[in-house]
Structure 1
């Protein structure tokens, strides 16, 4: 980041003061990052996001009152330029998937290293999804393809009939956990061609990033639980 570049404005939302303090101590001193506010629940996170307009919200999923999933859904609707990086523990996977459905740009377990957290904040700030493909595939195989708690429409995602055969194959491989290089090897095409296909898939399906594209693939039945790259 050049000296003249604007810092990444980060809002931290967690109901535990020690966790908030720890996250602030990791993120605050990092080059190119500015912690602009801290919230102790989802309602406050949304309120402070409107006030401070952060680039990234580091959001705990389980909070009292308005939780991280509800807050993420509101932010995705009310402040679409604000990216949410969800935090959770390994035994709360279902809530993380719910956050991705709500519009989170990615998620991390709370035991990640400071370096991984910083990298994820920078990644979601660029518009990419900060989700490890293998971890995402495992979570979605367990929860997205499982019967939902409430009835869910089986209607195909918008734009599905606009996809070409090659775009559908790229989408399928992306959903099974392959990165761009892996998709290129599997299909025998260049990395730039893969990137172009993914951009087209995102546009036609009206999804923001890789995480939402994977969720759409599971919910449409393109891939099923247990599928791997």
Structure 2
């Protein structure tokens, strides 16, 4: 399973390649310096993941993503950009990207993002994910506690609130049932609730969960 780095700056590609080759030596790395080159490379050899920049000579990273997803709907694309305006993050996700990471992210965050996207999950860098969630679902005054959750905690919080069984959460997130139980205990403490039912009410009050009519 190959990773294709799409960035017009050789030093950026070099740094990415070094970080990923060190952490994930089993994955071959290929490079493209433009959207046109990325389109050609994907046509010749389908990679498992593209790491895409916004600013590319010729076709933009956004347009390249749209074209690639039209041709290969299952293709997984992770944006890696210095531009982190929420409007651009939304455009990238709407175009079909599976994740978004800023170029200020530390190497371990990059590696975690790659692993998550390759395993079939979406990944948005934590500060951006929080901003998107708050923008989409303005929180009530008493729900500011939710902004203190990590991305994984938020993910499990929403799954628990929707009534997803712990066993299924463990399977979907590739963690143990014991870990899910530990997260539930942690969430109760962080959110100052005493039961899973209160988690549901908190999600409803925050606008993150709707009651079926």
Is the contact made by 2:102 and 2:125 (CA closer than 8 Å) also made in structure 1?
no
The reply to whether residue 12 of structure 1 matches residue 5 of structure 2 is: yes
Contact 1:61 1:96 in 2 (8 A): no
CA contact (8 A) 1:59 1:85 kept: yes
1:123 is aligned to 2:98: no
TM-score by length of 2: 0.64
Q: Which has the higher contact order (CA 8 A, sep 6+)?
A: 1
- Partner of 1:136, secondary structure, is helix
Residue 73 of structure 1 deviates from its aligned partner by 0.9
**Aligned CA distance change for structure 1 residues 38 and 187 (closer, same or farther; 3 Å):** closer
Instruction: Find the structure with the greater CA-based Rg.
Output: 2
Match of 1:77 in 2: 70
2:154 to 156, 179, 199: 179
Give RMSD over aligned pairs.
3.2
Distance 1:81 1:17, change over 3 A: same
User: CA, structure 1 residues 25+187, in 2 after alignment: closer, same or farther (shift >3 Å)?
Assistant: closer
Bigger shift: 98-107 or 112-121? 112-121
Whole-angstrom distance in 2 between the partners of 1:33 and 1:66: 27
The answer for the alignment partner of 1:39 in structure 2 is 32
Q: Give the direction of change, closer, same or farther, for the CA distance of 1:42–1:141 in structure 2 (3 Å limit).
A: farther
1:146-225 map, 5 Å: 179-186=154-161, 190-192=165-167
- Name whichever of 179-188 and 107-116 sits farther off: 179-188
Unmatched runs of 5 consecutive residues or more in structure 1? 1-7, 146-176, 197-225
Residue 141 of structure 1 and its aligned partner are, at CA, apart by 5.5
Cα distance in 2 for partners of 1:106, 1:52 equals: 22
Q: Is 2:80–2:103's contact at 8 Å kept on the other side of the alignment?
A: yes
Gaps of 5+ in 2: 138-150, 172-205
Deviates more, 1:38-47 or 1:98-107: 38-47
Size of the alignment, in residue pairs? Answer: 162
